[in-house]
Chain A
Amino acid sequence: MSDAAMTQRRPLLLNLLIVSFIVIWVVLAAFPFVWTVWGSLKVETDFFSRESWWNAIVGTYTRIQTGTAFTGDGYHGAWITREFWRAVGNTAVVTVSVTVISLTLGTLGGYALARSGQRYAFWILIIALVFRAMPHITLVSGYLLPFFQLNIWGVLPTSIIVLVAINQPFTLWMLHSFFLSIPKDLDESAMVDGCTRFQAFRMVIIPVMWPGVVTTGLFSFLLAYNDFAVTSMLLSADNQTMVPKISSFLGSVQEQGNVMYAVAAVVSATVPLFILVLFFQRQIVSGLTAGAVKG
């Protein structure tokens, strides 16, 4: 679209309308985060103030109780007293393992699906689509009893492999459409030169596949990071990752008047996502649209 020409012809009123709409949307999207980050540095009577929300901004009671306008008590309580750092460590282990394993399985499978013209390749993709639609919690109710019987409930490796499997349908679809965009001639000419299929994959495809892998990896990471249904049901209390830990905070903390621990934990869990969007905005957008344009 010829942007410049159209901008000039747009009436002032319409421009005003567009800008104010965007401002409202950005405030709606960003303000909850800003507010919660700010409020996590206050005491509970300020952040949850019955008198006036102005207290949360200036920190009236925070000043009275701690002497300064900002306090790190919530963070200290969550990270040290309630051992949130342990959950952070578990989350790191789970997300990194899930991302690496799903990408390894997914690139191999996605490549095979993209290069095979067979009927069964199509059916695998359709079944993967149906699996993609399964609510995770329905699968969890199938895991619990067998896992109790096999005595593998509660540990991190079990959750990791379950999340990898749940993630496979999406990874296969993404990488399948990505590999379709790499010309067939590339690996076929390598095979004419005497490579086996696997050698062609290793020496010709692997060097050019990284943009697609990075994008798919971001979404695998997000799935593992954001999961609540699987990790909350399959991990024992000692092995909990961040999200189920936050939910268990809610139960215990509300009674003890330590809601600020939960607020601090929530903010801590949000920060990595902010950083992710900050650095990978382009890849996230292109990943979302790649699925749409080709899917």
Chain B
Amino acid sequence: MPHKTFFAFILPSLVAMVLFIALPIVSVVVQSFHVEHGRILVEVENCQPFGGCTKETRVDTAAMAELQAAQPMGQFNGFGTYLNRSHLAVDEIGAILSDNTGFGNIVARIYNLPFYKALAFTLVFCFVVTPLAMALGFAIALAVNALPKVSKGPVIFFSLLPMIITPLVGSLILYWMIQANGIIGATLQNLFNDPTLSLRASPVLTWASLLFYGVWTNAPFSFVVFYAGLQTVPGDTLESAMIDGASRWERIRYVIIPHLAPLATFVALVQLMDNFRVFEPIVGFSAEANATSLSWLIFNDLSGDAQLFGSAGATSVLTIAGVIVLLMPVLIRTWREFNHKVV
């Protein structure tokens, strides 16, 4: 295809991606180096007929509006935002490392810094939910494959629901069931005979319920992909394994799993990307007291009364760096394969 035709076809799509994905990334980077204007204070003398005069410091709104119009980004701050307490917290980390009472103390104190708290949950969510959801999905795929044909359709229908559901809606539905006066929450209280038991109060239980939600909503994707993969397992290989005396488990271990391995890489990649942006369940579960994620930090900066663009920008840049680190193995492999092909 000639270059001209190619670009004529792809131009609209490319323009959309450049304008609304590439440029915003640039905009985020620029923003992250700026910080909101300081308040301009003026001293006003306030004289009353009988009280005498008092001096009062006030925010000069007119001057602030003018400054805001002249420099909407705020003032230049360099890497200041990246290093402050709510992001990488370099000074605080230094202080913790130089003065602590042991490893547990270090971890606990670093966990109290907002950025590291969010990072910890995001990574745990990514690396706990992804393998568990894949294992569950694989188990469901094996089980459904063994079912009689008539029942497969309905089972697949119900299995798709947790995945297809709007994340915020899905997390609300679960949250209403597990909160103290919902069906599961109340039943748990009765079972353990502990009327104060609440998933919201304890960090451990909040994390557990968020992870449960993650597995619930991620498993169907693995299930569908693995189920489709199972249909392509070569019958001859299975049969010869059976003739050689392989047990059911050995056939799964030595025939089916190797056959599905390439699919598993794909599923893992997609789910890691999606789980890294975990955000809606934290809003839905109102879990921000005990669990926050990187995406939630950005949302929180932007949705307050005073929108902290600088702070949101810095967290966004750090998040994007995280995504690139996450994708690195895939990118390197593709790069090698591509060069190999060309040479």
Residues of A in contact with B (beta carbons under 8 Å apart): 1-3, 6-7, 10, 14-15, 18-19, 21-22, 25-26, 28-30, 32-33, 35-36, 39, 47-50, 52-53, 56, 104-106, 108-109, 111-113, 115-119, 121-122, 124, 126, 128-146, 148-149, 161-162, 164-166, 168-169, 172, 197-198, 201, 222, 225-226, 228-229, 232-233, 243, 246-247, 250, 262-263, 266, 269-270, 273-274, 276-278, 281, 284-285, 288-289, 291-293, 295
Q: Which of B3, B25, B31, B156 is the one whose CB lies under 8 Å from A281?
A: B156
A278 CA / B146 CA spacing, docked (Å): 23
Chain B CB within 10 Å, residue with most, of A25, A129, A262: A25
Q: Which of A22, A138, A162 is the one whose CB lies under 8 Å from B28?
A: A138
A263 near B10: Cβ-Cβ < 8 Å: no
Check A273/B165 contact, CB under 8 A, given A22-B144, A139-B20, A141-B312. Answer: yes
Give the distance to chain B from A272, nearest Cβ to Cβ, in Å: 10
A263 CA / B176 CA spacing, docked (Å): 9
B238 near A1: Cβ-Cβ < 8 Å: yes
B273 at the interface (CB under 8 A from A): yes
Q: Per DSSP, are chain A's interface residues mostly helix, strand or loop, or mixed?
A: helix
Per-position 1/0 for B198-224, Cβ under 8 A of A: 000000000000000000100011001
Per-position 1/0 for B303-329, Cβ under 8 A of A: 100010100110010011001101100
Per-position 1/0 for B5-43, Cβ under 8 A of A: 111111011101101111111111001000000000000
Residues on the B chain within 8 Å of A111, using CB? 9
Q: Which of B17, B23, B143, B166 is the one whose CB lies under 8 Å from A18?
A: B143
Interface residues of B in 127-158 (CB under 8 A from A): 139-140, 143-149, 153, 155-158
B167 near A226: Cβ-Cβ < 8 Å: yes
A126 CA / B288 CA spacing, docked (Å): 35
Give the distance to chain A from B6, nearest Cβ to Cβ, in Å: 5
B235 at the interface (CB under 8 A from A): yes
A108 near B276: Cβ-Cβ < 8 Å: no
A145 near B27: Cβ-Cβ < 8 Å: yes
B87 at the interface (CB under 8 A from A): no
A137 near B277: Cβ-Cβ < 8 Å: yes
A105 near B309: Cβ-Cβ < 8 Å: no
Chain B, residue nearest A278 (CB): B157
Residues on the B chain within 8 Å of A32, using CB? 173-174, 177
Check A137/B181 contact, CB under 8 A, given A22-B140, A33-B173. Answer: no
Residues on the A chain within 8 Å of B235, using CB? 1-2
Chain B, residue nearest A131 (CB): B21
Q: Which of A3, A48, A109, A273 is the one whose CB lies under 8 Å from B13?
A: A109
A277 CA / B158 CA spacing, docked (Å): 9
Check A165/B20 contact, CB under 8 A, given A1-B238, A266-B173. Answer: yes
Check A134/B320 contact, CB under 8 A, given A165-B17, A284-B164. Answer: yes
A138 near B316: Cβ-Cβ < 8 Å: yes
B224 near A285: Cβ-Cβ < 8 Å: yes
A28 near B216: Cβ-Cβ < 8 Å: yes
A25 CA / B55 CA spacing, docked (Å): 71
Chain B, residue nearest A196 (CB): B5
A1 CA / B233 CA spacing, docked (Å): 7
B276 near A135: Cβ-Cβ < 8 Å: yes
Chain A, residue nearest B183 (CB): A53
A265 CA / B293 CA spacing, docked (Å): 26
A172 CA / B16 CA spacing, docked (Å): 12
Chain A, residue nearest B146 (CB): A18
Q: Which of B92-100, B108-116, B294-302 is near enough to bind chain A?
A: B294-302
Give the distance to chain A from B304, nearest Cβ to Cβ, in Å: 12
Give the distance to chain A from B157, nearest Cβ to Cβ, in Å: 6
B88 at the interface (CB under 8 A from A): no
Give the distance to chain B from A167, nearest Cβ to Cβ, in Å: 9
A-B contacts, 18 of them at CB < 8 A, read A19-B147, A36-B173, A53-B183, A108-B9, A124-B10, A131-B17, A142-B28, A144-B307, A161-B20, A165-B21, A166-B20, A228-B283, A233-B303, A263-B176, A269-B169, A273-B161, A284-B164, A289-B224
